[in-house]
Amino acid sequence: MRRQVCIIGGGPSGLLLSQLLHRQGIDSVVLERKTRDYVLSRIRAGILETGMVNLMREAGVSERMDREGYIHEGTVIAHGDDRFGINFKDLTGDHVMIYGQTEVTRDLYDARDAAGGTVIFNAEGVTIHDADSDAPYVTYITEGTEHRIDCDFVAGCDGFHGVSRRTIPLDVRREYEKVYPFGWLGILSETPPVHDELIYAGSDRGFALCSMRNDNLSRYYVQCSLSDSPEDWTDDAFWDELRKRIPQEFADQLITGPSIEKSIAPLRSFVTEPMRWGRLFLCGDAAHIVPPTGAKGLNTAASDIHYLYQGLLQFYHEGDSEGIDRYSEKALARIWKAERFSWATTNLLHRYPDQSPFDLKMQKADVAFLRDNHAAQTAFAQNYVGLPY
């Protein structure tokens, strides 16, 4: 098989790139290690920056998102019972969209099906060959048979544990990482959201987040120990802890119910440089991870897709390699700013095990400064709705 672009990873970033390229007459194939049902079963965040929303529209897959998504023009920050709002619309003229990542992925699969796109599932043993040459190719195994794809370029959209990043030699790549000493316990419940905007709450007991998927599907999180497991937390224990971490006015309004999904996610910040080696390009979690506090995971992947898509268009339509030559530079410049915002927001609201009384006072002062300072709120809002590409 020959394709212009071989995309490794059938999650939202790989599918989005494939769909965008298709609409510009550039052919691709997507290799996914798991099944379609497995990919669609993964529960992920659903806060979309304007840039991601616009890419979905450009890809021709925004109809359901525009119809069912929730526009959010602000958020609530709380510490103890002290809470204040940050109005994105007033501060930036922009907003975010609440639309689940699973729904984004489902819409993209449907679009690739309608276009006759090639997505190969259960692709095992994926190996990238000669990425540093002008003739890369990828091999994989399905049902015991090895197959080969010759291509011009390889897009590694296969996540933190995928093969793409590990293909770049150790003497070429450099990795930067911070592992946080806590995780997030999250539950999904068929209950109405406690508030019409997201609530980011810090407290003496730790962080909590109140989010939603729709009018009767809510997503809640509490900071927890890395040694915890979901089985350690009954639903009642979770709801009791959440009430203690959010302002009393919201705790009194909280409607609880049985969880339909419960999981714990560790938090880390991670970046690998460079994001390009020869004709291999890393996108999304293959190149970088952010803690979920700033809602940047899928959105940083979207910015990578934007830069790579534009570079490939420039290469194929204009015969100019400037966009792909500068892909890593452009992508990383924005990624590090998103990493900074996610790191800073995590530090602002979480309780660390080694915080001194001085550290706690500084944390409260940071929250108070954000509450009282228009410029600080503007900077927060600019980052939250998404920095320009």
Among 22, 247, 292, 309, the one annotated catalytic: 292
Q: What share of the chain is helix, strand, coil (3-state, %, to 5)?
A: 40, 30, 30
Rounded to whole angstroms, the Cα distance separating 163 from 9 reads 10
230 among known catalytic residues: no
Strand partners of residue 212: 218
Which tokens go with 35? 């099944």
Residue 74, C-beta contacts closer than 8 angstroms, at least 6 positions apart: 85, 86, 87, 88, 89, 197
Rounded to whole angstroms, the Cα distance separating 39 from 12 reads 9
Which tokens go with 284? 């999304």
Which tokens go with 127? 């190996």
Pairing of strands 259-273, 288-289: antiparallel
Residue 287 identity (one-letter amino acid)? A
Among 12, 22, 70, 72, the one annotated catalytic: 72
206 phi, psi to nearest 5 deg: 125, -175
296 among known catalytic residues: yes
Among 22, 262, 296, 306, the one annotated catalytic: 296
The helix or strand, by DSSP H or E, that contains position 56, with its residue range, turns out to be helix 50-58
Residue linked to tokens 């296969």? 158
244 among known catalytic residues: no
Rounded to whole angstroms, the Cα distance separating 283 from 156 reads 6
Among 99, 180, 200, 307, the one annotated catalytic: 200
Which tokens go with 123? 């692709």
Residue 244, C-beta contacts closer than 8 angstroms, at least 6 positions apart: 203, 205, 251
200 among known catalytic residues: yes
38 among known catalytic residues: no
Q: Which active-site residues does the annotation give?
A: 72, 200, 292, 296, 384
